[in-house]
Each structure stands twice: as structure tokens, then as C-alpha cells.
Amino acid sequence: MSSVREQLEKLREEIRDHQYRYYVEAQPVVSDYEFDQLMRALEALEQKHPDLVTPDSPTARVGGQVTGGFPSHTFQEPMLSLDNAYSFDELEDWGRRVAERAGTGEIDFVAELKIDGLSVTLIYEAGRLEMGITRGDGRTGEVVTSNVRTIRSVPLRLKRPESVEVRGEIFLRLEAFRRLNDERDAEGLARFANPRNAAAGSLRQVDPASVARRPLDFFSYALLPHRPSQSEDLAALTGLGFKVNPNVLRTGSLNEVIEFCRAWEDRRDTLDYEIDGVVVKVDSAFLQERLGSTAKAPRWAVAVKFRARQATTRLVDIRIQVGRTGALTPVAELEPVQVSGITIRNATLHNEDEIARLGVAIGDRVLIERGGDVIPKVLKVVETGPDRRPFQMPTHCPECGSEVYRAEDEVKSRCISQTCPAKVKESFLHWASRKAMDIDGLGERLVDQLVEHGLVRDISDLFELADKRDALVALDRVGEKSADNLLKEIGATRMLPFSRVVYGLGIRHVGERTAQILADYFHSMDALLKAELAELEQVAEIGPVVAETIYRFVRESHNRRLIDRLRDFGLRMVMDGPAPDRPEQVFAGMKIVLTGTLLGITRDDAKELIEQRGGRVTSSVSKKTNFVLAGADPGSKLEKARKLEVRVVDESEFREML
Ligand code: IVH
């Protein structure tokens, strides 16, 4: 039996590890519920052994962690956390304690949805947004004002010129979250585990322009200085121009609060954002004051946490799905199981490495979770099966039998055949998808039939379907009317802008945004087809791997033929409007670091000028840096440049270069 001291240290280490994965890497490996349970176990043990509490214990901090990179700000009033209630019994216990301390049984409560995002505080002076700060560790947060400014539901100016502080939750709607993850997939980046991580990742980006592209949203729930009650705070927030979540209950009955919690736990799937519970608050500010707070959380509020949307079931088999890019994705086939009202039969296992990390084999009992993603995921093995069968990635494509190849720096194995029917079908679905050609009638069923009947081989064949109308109408579930609609929709794709054509081609790593960047930069398909690798590499935001993929794609003969045919059928191969005057590429391929204050130009403008001329602005000085542009009061970057003998350029020299 290990000593209590050892037990404590082990728990703390485990919690610290999870905190790091959660806050720093934004890639948690346990659910919030499991994490809370660990914290609770630690708290309980520390309470029994107060002499063994150390100042560096995870219980000593309010939560969160300041990760650096943004200036920090210490709050005047700390951003407290909330105590959790995991059952209605615990909620009732809380209610009794509140009544006792308040010295009255007549208490009004306000119940609000607990938005699963990240909390921020906004400081307004005379009605203007001065600062937006993340919660950080509850005492000190990070100043992310420029990023907060990009959020449309955060008013930059209040309806009245008041000086107030507003607290609330920044979050990402599910649709935006799914889109963002699809884009990350397309660009070969790791997916965000849930919408909250995605929001956190977005808010902490260094470039506000890229934050602006992710539609973050904001619900406010606290106003400082307080009005006489929470319900009046909420009304005042609406009056100042903030969004307040409309699903609020004010009642004197804790039973009604419980009903509200039950109802929302059942209905959470009807919302297009994630909630993880209900926050119950004592309405009266006077009573709130009387109840006070501990170092970590107010006594006048409690978070009733919903049960996690998890379940355990048996992994019956692992099937392989072949995607448009030929990527093989292992999918778990599960013994059907109910998770918060929905029957789950499949879960994603992502890739070979993930299966190894989970240590999962066919026949095991696994814990699965439904998160913000459409497809649930396997979290861990809860019990190994008696005759478990380890999974092996196939060496040949299950769809076409061609060889499977896994590049050294990739997690996915891919089918190498150009004509693999699974790849072909996926390429049609991608072409028809909303962000590409948006062809409503062209779904999975129809694509399967078109490919299997040999009516189409690649996407350009869609334009010849008009001559094969009879064959089309003869297909299962295709009537005269739907055939005509489909042909009309296919015809209408000729009107779509060039960037959508680039996206629709389904080049690996080229998501919607990259397609737009390519269209803006090259302006026409001809220019894109002629681009040399070096030129692709110097396009802002396009890295060497993506550049090479594009370069290879447009040089491959089948793809050339496809593009030529699309051109012949009348798809747009140039951008609308005049070609941009592209400045001379004086910084082509250069890595440039900015330091100090520039006088005649803002940093953002300098960056833009450099990027327009083919350069890249990087954040730290290395031997590969071509030069450092130094303004007034340069920092340690200048010293480093001198040490590494990197060229230093001042502002006037920079202008000459331009
Ligand atoms: S009130 C002092 N109201 O939950 C009380 N918090 O686990 C401050 N949250 O850090 C919190 N929705 O990020 C409050 N309607 C709501 C909320 C809410 C989400 C978050 C908030 C807080 C966390 C505590």
C-alpha cells in the first residue's frame, strides 16, 4: 500500500498532465467528467490530510494556465470558477447550505445554460471596448483585445457610454466547428477535439485576421458593477447591446430548477452550440454578498453538470473507409448502444497511430463519446475482450485491391490507384458539396449508381449527362423531374467563381481558404498551371508541403486532361475583375523578422508589404533569417541577430528595398 503522500503526488502528476494536454496542447485525452473526478478525489484526499497540501498542488489554482505569447492582465475582481453538482441531490444540498447561510428559505434563483466555451472579461470605458482578456488562471489572464474585436457579437461600442466590465463565454457554433475541422483535415492538420478547444485555439492565434475567419460568438452573463440582482444584470446587458442566452429561468422553487435542468439535458442536441450543464445562481445581489465566495468559487452559484454523452459498448469490428484523397480511415463497428437518446453504431478511430495509442483490439469493450463532431469517437478501452483480435492496417485497398502506401511523415495510409472507385465516388461528392459546386441532387446514392453504371468516370463527365438523360431517368429513384433539376444544377455551376472550381478539384491540402488564396494570387488557371514550385512556395500561407502537392497535382496528366475538359464545358478558369498589379517579388522566398516599433508604418502593413513581395514574416531569428527589420527600441531579437550575424535593416533602408 503506497503512502498517502505518494498517492497525493501521483494524483497531482496525473492532473497536471491532463491540464497541460488540455490548456497548452488543446488536445485532451480524457473527458471533462473524468478530469473533474480526479480533481474531486484530490480535493477529498487533501481535505483529510491538510498537512500534506502543497502550494503547487493543482487545487491551489483556480484553473487554466497562462501560456504566454500575449500580455497579461491582473483582474481587479478575480474570475472565479464554479463548484459543480453532479446530481440533483448535490444541488439540493447546495440549496440547503445557501438557505442556512442566507438566513432565509425564500430565495429566488436564476438558472442559465452553461455554455461550453471559454470565459472572457471585456472592459469598456465610456462605452468603448478597451480590453478583452481571457480567464487565464482566474487572477491573471491574457489580453487578446484585437482577437476579441473580430467577434461580431461583441459590441465595440455600447448603446450607452458606460464604463463597465462584462463577463461571458466565447464559443464556436457546431456548424463552424465542423467546417473548421474539415478544413484542418483537408490541410493535413490535427482536428480539434471539441468546439471549446477550437474556440480557445482560435482566440489565441497571433493574427487577428485568421481569428476573424473563424466565426466565434459570445454570450454575456455578468455585469460589473452589479445591478441589484442577476436577472437585472441580464436585462441591463441586453440593453447595452449584448447577446444574452434566451433560455433563462427565474424561480423561487428549486424543484422547478431541477425540471429546467432535466429538460435541457434532454434537449441539448437541439442547440447549435454545446452546453455542459446549467448554472444556478442566487438572484439577489444582496444575498450574494451575504453568502460570499471561497478563494475559488462563489457560494451563491453552482454548476449542475450534465452526464457526459458517453457509453461503453463492444467493438465488433474495424472497417476501412476510403476517402476522396485515397486516405484509409479505420471505423469502429460497435454493438449498437444508446447515448443520450441516439443509437450509436459507428465511431471513428482516425488512423493506425490512434489505434495503437488507445491499445484497442477487436472484441474489447470501449468507452465512446458523442462530442461536437458528427461521428462519435472511441476514448479508451475499458475491458479487453477474451478473444481479442488486434487490428492490422490492410496492405491493399479494400475497395480496389491496389497497393496501400503510408508516407513517412503522415499518419494516414493511402490507396495509390487513380481509378479506385471509392476515390472516384468521393471526388464526385466533394465536387457536389456545398462549398464547391453545391449540386443539391448529387448525393451518395446517385453517385454510386452513376459510377457503377459507367455513366461517369470523372467530374467532367457530369456535363455530358445532358446527352444521356434517358439513362439517367432509368436509374433507381430518379424521376423525370429530378433528372431535369440535376441537369439544371450542373449547368448552373458554370456561373460559379474560379476559386470554387479550384476548391472543387479536391487537391489534397487545398481547403476552401487555400483555394481562395490560390485564386487571388494566380488569378487564372493558366497561371496556376504554369507556376513553378518556388513561386507556389512563396505564396503567403502556403507551406512547402502544400506547394508541392499542388505542383504535382497540376502536372499530372489525368488532372490536366480533367481541367482542360472542365474548361471546354465552360467552367470559369479566371477570376472576375482585373488582374492585380503584383509588385516585383523583391523578397521572394525570404524569411524576415520584425522587431521594435516602426514609425512610419504599422507592423501589419509592413507584414503585408513583405508578403505581397514574396517574403514571409517569421517570429524568431535564426540562421535562416534573411534580415531583421528593426524599429525603435528593438528587443532581444536584435541582439540575437547580431550574435548570429544576420543582416539588420532599418526603416529607411526597408523603404528603399520596397
Ligand atoms: S457564471 C463567478 N454563468 O462556466 C461565477 N458561468 O465552470 C462565474 N460558464 O468559468 C461564472 N456559462 O466560463 C456563469 N451562464 C453562465 C456560464 C458560465 C458558462 C462557464 C464560465 C465559468 C465556468 C465555470
Average pLDDT over residues 602-623: 85
The DSSP secondary-structure symbol of 556 reads: S
CA of 118 to the centre of ligand 1 (A): 9
The band of 576, judged by pLDDT with boundaries at 50, 70 and 90, is confident
**Comparing 188-197, 378-387, 422-431, 553-562, which segment has the lowest mean pLDDT?**
188-197
The band of 65, judged by pLDDT with boundaries at 50, 70 and 90, is very low
Look up 380 and say whether it is catalytic.
no
Q: In terms of Cα–Cα distance, which of 407, 404, 406 is closest to 423?
A: 404
Residue whose CB lies within 8 A of the most ligand 1 atoms, among 36, 83, 115, for a mutation test: 115
Average pLDDT over residues 504-509: 90
How high is the mean pLDDT of the chain? 89
The answer, yes or no, to whether residue 587 has pLDDT greater than 60, is yes
Q: What are the tens digits of pLDDT across the range 397-455?
A: 999 999 999 887 778 899 988 789 999 999 999 999 999 999 999 999 999 999 999 99
pLDDT of residue 25: 56
Closest C-alpha to ligand 1, atom 17: 114
| Residues forming beta bridges with residue 404, ordered by sequence position | 415
The DSSP secondary-structure symbol of 444 reads: H
The answer, yes or no, to whether residue 366 has pLDDT greater than 70, is yes
Q: Is 299 in the pocket of ligand 1 (CB under 6 A)?
A: no
Closest C-alpha to ligand 1, atom 9: 114
**Beta strands 216-224; 165-172: pairing state:** antiparallel
CA of 272 to the centre of ligand 1 (A): 19
Average pLDDT over residues 46-73: 70
Closest C-alpha to ligand 1, atom 22: 81
**Comparing 98-102, 190-194, 420-424, 444-448, which segment has the lowest mean pLDDT?**
190-194
Q: Is 221 in the pocket of ligand 1 (CB under 6 A)?
A: yes
Average pLDDT over residues 176-189: 76
pLDDT of residue 43: 87
Ligand 1: atom nearest CA of 84 is: 7
**Comparing 9-23, 366-380, 550-564, 606-620, which segment has the lowest mean pLDDT?**
9-23
Q: Is 112 in the pocket of ligand 1 (CB under 6 A)?
A: yes
Rounded-to-integer distance, Cα 82 and Cα 302, Å = 6
- Specify the higher pLDDT residue, 585 or 93: 93
CA of 61 to the centre of ligand 1 (A): 16
Ligand 1: atom nearest CA of 119 is: 13
Q: What are the tens digits of pLDDT across the range 324-346?
A: 788 999 999 999 999 877 899 99
The answer, yes or no, to whether residue 384 has pLDDT greater than 50, is yes
Rounded-to-integer distance, Cα 584 and Cα 588, Å = 9
Average pLDDT over residues 36-54: 86
The answer, yes or no, to whether residue 64 has pLDDT greater than 50, is no
CA of 79 to the centre of ligand 1 (A): 9
The answer for residues whose C-beta is within 8 angstroms of residue 516's C-beta and 6 or more apart is 499, 503
Given the residues 10, 48, 114, 377, the one annotated as active site: 114
The band of 186, judged by pLDDT with boundaries at 50, 70 and 90, is low
Average pLDDT over residues 364-368: 96
Q: Is 562 in the pocket of ligand 1 (CB under 6 A)?
A: no
Rounded-to-integer distance, Cα 372 and Cα 274, Å = 7
Rounded-to-integer distance, Cα 476 and Cα 444, Å = 13
Ligand 1: atom nearest CA of 113 is: 15
Q: Is 237 in the pocket of ligand 1 (CB under 6 A)?
A: no
Contact predicate 535/552, CB 8 Å = no
Among 291-305, 334-348, 502-516, top mean pLDDT goes to 291-305
The answer, yes or no, to whether residue 135 has pLDDT greater than 60, is yes
**Comparing 446-450, 455-459, 507-511, which segment has the lowest mean pLDDT?**
507-511
The answer, yes or no, to whether residue 528 has pLDDT greater than 90, is yes
Q: What are the tens digits of pLDDT across the range 267-299?
A: 998 999 999 999 999 999 999 999 999 989 999
CA of 590 to the centre of ligand 1 (A): 46
Q: pTM for this structure?
A: 0.64
pLDDT of residue 63: 38
Is the four-CA dihedral 523, 524, 529, 530 of positive or negative sign? negative
The answer, yes or no, to whether residue 380 has pLDDT greater than 60, is yes
Q: Is 94 in the pocket of ligand 1 (CB under 6 A)?
A: no
The band of 388, judged by pLDDT with boundaries at 50, 70 and 90, is very high
Average pLDDT over residues 116-123: 96
Rounded-to-integer distance, Cα 172 and Cα 202, Å = 9
Q: Is 123 in the pocket of ligand 1 (CB under 6 A)?
A: no
Q: Which residues of 154-164 are buried (b: 16+ CB within 10 A; e: fewer)?
A: bbeebeeeeeb
Rounded-to-integer distance, Cα 172 and Cα 178, Å = 10
The x, y and z cell numbers of residue 259, run together, are 425540471
- Count CB neighbours of 54 within 10 A: 11
Q: In terms of Cα–Cα distance, which of 565, 579, 420 is closest to 501?
A: 565
CA of 114 to the centre of ligand 1 (A): 6
pLDDT of residue 605: 82
The band of 581, judged by pLDDT with boundaries at 50, 70 and 90, is low
pLDDT of residue 62: 39
Q: Is 274 in the pocket of ligand 1 (CB under 6 A)?
A: no
Average pLDDT over residues 140-167: 91
Ligand 1: atom nearest CA of 135 is: 10
pLDDT of residue 536: 92
Contact predicate 580/521, CB 8 Å = no
Ligand 1: atom nearest CA of 303 is: 7
Is the four-CA dihedral 481, 485, 486, 488 of positive or negative sign? positive
Q: In terms of Cα–Cα distance, which of 519, 486, 488 is closest to 505?
A: 519
CA of 82 to the centre of ligand 1 (A): 7
The DSSP secondary-structure symbol of 493 reads: G
Q: Is 8 in the pocket of ligand 1 (CB under 6 A)?
A: no
The band of 572, judged by pLDDT with boundaries at 50, 70 and 90, is very high
pLDDT of residue 67: 43
CA of 279 to the centre of ligand 1 (A): 7
Q: Is 279 in the pocket of ligand 1 (CB under 6 A)?
A: yes
pLDDT of residue 210: 66
Residue spans of alpha helices (H) in 193-278: 195-203, 208-212, 230-240, 254-267
